[in-house]
């Protein structure tokens, strides 16, 4: 479903991704762990097509198409979702407006009809309930004044509404308390654990993987995948640290 081959990328003139290889098949969840500054967020941004992240070599195919040739909105329309380590605040735009625009832009791109107000609200309520998010938060400006954990939950509500084929989630667990971690973990499973879908879960901590059980765990260091294993690799890292394991 997602095939990354020999990917190299620069940010600010500095090579950050340095020959990265990774294949995710439909139905799989892959976790990526790695020390600070390894290039995990850079990988997420590069897959999303963020300006300033320059591809200098290699390829990425998504469902057989050249992902890197698509604009960011085309990548989203193709079914790619990015959950950010630092979700942005959008003052002046309500969450409901934002989510409805995003959902309908994606439907339009796919040649589907826009959701009516009623249809959208039903969907939004369902996903907010799944993430135990108060409907009042949907009326507030996007992420403005939200706590770290609320922003992450909000991202998962957005993911639920967009119903992507593939999600790249960058430290979605950071800033979550124990209960929120479980809710978010169950939300990810409910939205993304399906035969035709795939997930790349970037995390520093094993605990999220207790809820979202990965098929593979990779260690990313210095811009490439240096080790791959099963869920036990995350436990090993937790016990021994990167220096011992890598």
Footprint of ligand ADP (CB under 6 A): 11-12, 14, 16, 34, 36-42
117 binding partner (options Mg ion, ligand ADP, none; Cβ < 5 to 8 Å by kind): none
12 binding partner (options Mg ion, ligand ADP, none; Cβ < 5 to 8 Å by kind): ligand ADP
Annotate 226-239 with b (16+ C-beta within 10 A) or e (fewer). ebebebebbebbee
Nearer to Mg ion among residue 161 and residue 201 (C-beta): 201
Give residues 68-97 in contact with Mg ion (rule: CB under 5 A).
85
Nearer to ligand ADP among residue 16 and residue 103 (C-beta): 16
Q: Which residues contact 200 (CB under 8 A, 6 or more apart)?
A: 2, 22, 24, 30, 32, 44, 47, 166, 167, 168, 169
- How many CB atoms sit inside 10 A of residue 59's CB? 14
Q: Which residue has the tokens 């090579």?
A: 15
* Residue 26 φ then ψ, to 5°: -55, 140
Q: Which residue in the shown chain puts its C-beta closest to ligand ADP?
A: 12
Distance CA 114, CA 106 (A): 9
Could you give the C-alpha distances from 81 to 135, 196, 234, in angstroms and in order? 23, 14, 24
Nearer to Mg ion among residue 85 and residue 189 (C-beta): 85
34 binding partner (options ligand ADP, Mg ion, none; Cβ < 5 to 8 Å by kind): ligand ADP
> What is the per-residue binding string for Mg ion in 25-44, x denoting contact by CB under 5 A?
-----------x---xx---
118 binding partner (options Mg ion, ligand ADP, none; Cβ < 5 to 8 Å by kind): none
172 binding partner (options Mg ion, ligand ADP, none; Cβ < 5 to 8 Å by kind): none
What is the closest distance, in whole angstroms, from the C-beta atom of residue 17 to ligand ADP in the complex?
8
Nearer to ligand ADP among residue 37 and residue 241 (C-beta): 37
Q: Which residue in the shown chain puts its C-beta closest to Mg ion?
A: 41
Distance CA 31, CA 28 (A): 10
Which residues lie near Mg ion (CB under 5 A)?
36, 40-41, 85
């Amino acid at each position: 479903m997602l095939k990354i081959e020999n990917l190299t990328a620069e940010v600010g003139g500095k090579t950050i991704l340095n020959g990265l290889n990774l294949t995710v098949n439909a139905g799989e969840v892959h976790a990526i762990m790695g020390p600070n500054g390894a290039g995990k967020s850079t990988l997420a941004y590069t897959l999303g097509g963020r300006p300033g992240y320059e591809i200098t070599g290699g390829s990425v195919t998504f469902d057989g198409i050249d992902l890197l040739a698509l604009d960011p909105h085309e990548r989203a329309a193709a079914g790619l979702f990015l959950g950010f380590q630092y979700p942005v605040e959008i003052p002046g735009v309500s969450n409901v407006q934002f989510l409805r625009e995003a959902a309908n832009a994606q439907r339009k791109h796919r040649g589907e009809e826009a959701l009516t107000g009623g249809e959208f609200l039903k969907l939004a309520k369902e996903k907010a309930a799944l993430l135990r998010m108060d409907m009042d938060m949907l009326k507030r400006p996007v992420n403005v004044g939200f706590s770290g954990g609320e922003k992450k939950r909000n991202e998962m509500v957005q993911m639920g509404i967009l119903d992507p084929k593939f999600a790249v989630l960058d430290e979605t667990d950071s800033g979550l308390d124990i209960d929120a971690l479980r809710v978010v973990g169950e939300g990810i499973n409910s939205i993304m654990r399906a035969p035709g879908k795939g997930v790349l879960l970037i995390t520093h901590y094993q605990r999220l993987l207790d809820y979202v059980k990965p098929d593979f765990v990779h260690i990313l260091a210095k811009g490439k995948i240096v080790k791959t294993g099963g869920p036990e690799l995350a436990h090993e890292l937790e016990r021994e640290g990167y220096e011992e394991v890598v």
